[in-house]
């Protein structure tokens, strides 16, 4: 059996597919991950022993710009991604049993699967893009809904129209080239009626939350047994546990001077700081011996050893922090990040910073909540309840589905 796993997005979109690929390999199946040709992702998949096929442009070239991408840039990127999926997947999936697609609106993946008559699964890492009567759609480039519109069914219909404007012309053009009829609603076609939710049910409960029949597997985690390097071990051992601060790939969105603000907020609590450079390009604000810079790191090994975790609220970082049992402070910036911030606060495992641009005082106040004994106890308790078998569950469903297909033939 062979499966093709496709995504275009940040590390939080790529690493879960690496985890799923490893789980499939453990069941005796083959798996290829189609992902953006960024060096970080190539190294990640090579470390996991997973074959990679490059898909689309580099993500870093898009998200690491000084300013957030414009609406015009989104309308230019969408058809490029559609074309890349038809080209890459068309070449890679010829002998595959199924395609699993994730990441930024993977228009083009199901079309290739349908043409070849193989199974297609859409997987998401949060509920934000799935139509629901419980919440409104998030922001998307295109014509906005009229000011004052509150009917969620109307708002979700407008969301579908924005997706059509972004992806529809290119998608239907490529479909015509391979003999497929046009799609009326790109979003609904991509999502299917049974999307998979690769998120922990404690952090992201799905029952009754969407209009679709969601299959929740749990988060897809990639095991990481890399040791921490000697210099970091020495810093950790030289005093009380520090506070970790990282904003992942948020180069264009990270608050101005966030490193300086975070260091001062941590010092207000007498805490040392571990600063993660990331694509956000954070840097030490001074040469204080109470600060240490890290690059790409094994979060599974590091997070249980810090006092608190300050981050942007990506699905992967939120899950890793929750699993570690360490309190967190989420400073949400875009997309699904406000949702994860709200869940962290609601569960009592950390604090949600209300504004995207913290001050020293506001971040210190949020850290005070995270460092309280009550939050520490709740974070430790919840950490022991986070599921860790999501990738194995998903891999089992894929293999079982492929076996059923063989039996029917």
Q: Hey, is 193 helix, strand or coil?
A: coil
Buried b (16+ CB within 10 A) or exposed e, 17-37: bbbbbbbbeeeebbbbbbbbb
Q: How is the beta sheet containing 243-245 ordered, strand by strand?
A: 291-294, 273-276, 243-245, 308-311, 328-330, 350-352
CATH 3.30.1360.20 fits 2-221+388-408, yes or no: no
First to last CA, the chain: 15
What is the structure's pLDDT at 199?
Answer: 98
Per-residue pLDDT of the chain (409 residues; tens, 9 = 90+): 999 999 999 999 999 999 999 999 999 999 999 999 999 999 999 999 999 999 999 999 887 666 777 889 999 999 999 999 999 999 999 899 999 999 999 999 999 999 999 999 999 999 999 999 999 999 999 999 999 999 999 999 999 999 999 999 999 999 999 999 999 999 999 999 999 999 999 999 999 999 899 999 999 999 999 999 999 999 999 999 999 999 988 877 788 899 999 999 999 999 999 999 988 888 898 888 999 999 999 999 999 999 999 999 999 999 999 999 999 999 999 989 999 999 999 999 999 998 878 999 999 999 999 999 999 999 999 999 999 999 999 999 999 999 876 545 3
Euclidean distance between CA atoms 105 and 394, whole angstroms: 20
What is the structure's pLDDT at 75?
Answer: 95
Contact 55, 34 (CB under 8 A): yes
What is the structure's pLDDT at 287?
Answer: 84
The dihedrals phi and psi of 309, each to the nearest 5 degrees, come to -125, 115
What is the structure's pLDDT at 409?
Answer: 39
What is the structure's pLDDT at 8?
Answer: 97
Whether 2-221+388-408 and 230-383 share one fold: the answer is yes
Q: Is 169 left (phi over 0), alpha (psi -120 to 50) or beta?
A: alpha
What is the structure's pLDDT at 406?
Answer: 54
Euclidean distance between CA atoms 397 and 394, whole angstroms: 5
Q: Where are the alpha helices (DSSP H) in 182-333?
A: 186-191, 230-236, 258-268, 299-302, 315-324
The dihedrals phi and psi of 33, each to the nearest 5 degrees, come to -105, 120
Rg (CA), the chain: 21
Q: Are strands 30-35 and 52-54 parallel, antiparallel or unpaired?
A: parallel
Domain boundaries, the chain: 2-221+388-408, 230-383
Q: What size, in residues, is the chain?
A: 409
What is the structure's pLDDT at 295?
Answer: 93
Strand partners, 293: 275
The dihedrals phi and psi of 216, each to the nearest 5 degrees, come to -95, 120
What is the structure's pLDDT at 281?
Answer: 86
CATH topology for 230-383 is Rossmann fold (3.40.50)
């Amino acid at each position: 059996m062979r499966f093709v796993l496709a995504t275009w997005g940040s590390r939080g979109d790529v690493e879960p597919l690496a985890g799923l690929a490893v789980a499939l390999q453990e069941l005796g199946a083959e798996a290829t991950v189609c992902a953006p040709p960024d060096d970080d992702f190539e190294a990640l998949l090579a470390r996991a022993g997973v074959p990679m096929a490059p898909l689309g442009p580099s993500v870093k070239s898009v998200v690491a710009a000084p300013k957030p991408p414009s609406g015009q840039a989104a309308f230019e990127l969408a058809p490029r991604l559609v074309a890349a999926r038809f080209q890459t997947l068309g070449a890679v999936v010829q002998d595959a049993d199924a395609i699993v697609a994730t990441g930024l609106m993977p228009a083009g993946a199901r079309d290739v699967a349908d043409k070849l008559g193989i199974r297609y699964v859409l997987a998401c890492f949060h509920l934000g893009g799935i139509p629901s009567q419980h919440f409104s759609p998030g922001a998307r480039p295109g014509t906005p809904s009229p000011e004052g519109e509150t009917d969620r069914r109307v708002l979700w219909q407008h969301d579908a129209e924005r997706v059509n404007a972004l992806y529809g012309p290119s998608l239907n053009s490529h479909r015509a080239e391979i003999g497929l009829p046009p799609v009326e609603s790109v979003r609904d076609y991509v999502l299917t009626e049974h999307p998979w939710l690769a998120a922990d049910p404690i952090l992201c409960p799905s029952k009754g939350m969407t209009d679709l029949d969601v299959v929740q597997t749990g988060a897809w985690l990639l095991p990481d047994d890399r040791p921490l390097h000697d210099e970091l071990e020495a810093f950790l051992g030289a005093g009380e546990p520090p506070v970790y601060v990282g904003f992942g790939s948020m180069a264009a969105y990270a608050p101005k001077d966030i490193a300086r603000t975070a260091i001062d907020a941590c010092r207000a609590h007498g805490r040392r700081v571990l600063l993660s450079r990331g694509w956000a390009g954070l840097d030490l604000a001074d040469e204080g011996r109470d600060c240490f810079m890290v690059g790409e790191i094994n979060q599974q090994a590091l997070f249980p050893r810090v006092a608190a975790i300050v981050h942007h609220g990506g699905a992967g970082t939120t899950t890793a922090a929750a699993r570690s049992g360490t309190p967190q402070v989420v400073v949400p910036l875009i997309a699904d990040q406000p949702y994860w911030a709200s869940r962290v606060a609601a569960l009592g495992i950390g604090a949600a910073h209300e504004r995207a641009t913290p001050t020293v005082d506001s971040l210190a106040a949020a850290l005070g909540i995270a460092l309280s004994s009550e939050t520490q106890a709740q974070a430790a308790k919840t950490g022991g309840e986070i599921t860790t078998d999501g990738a194995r569950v998903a891999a089992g469903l894929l293999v079982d589905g492929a076996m059923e297909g063989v039996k029917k033939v």
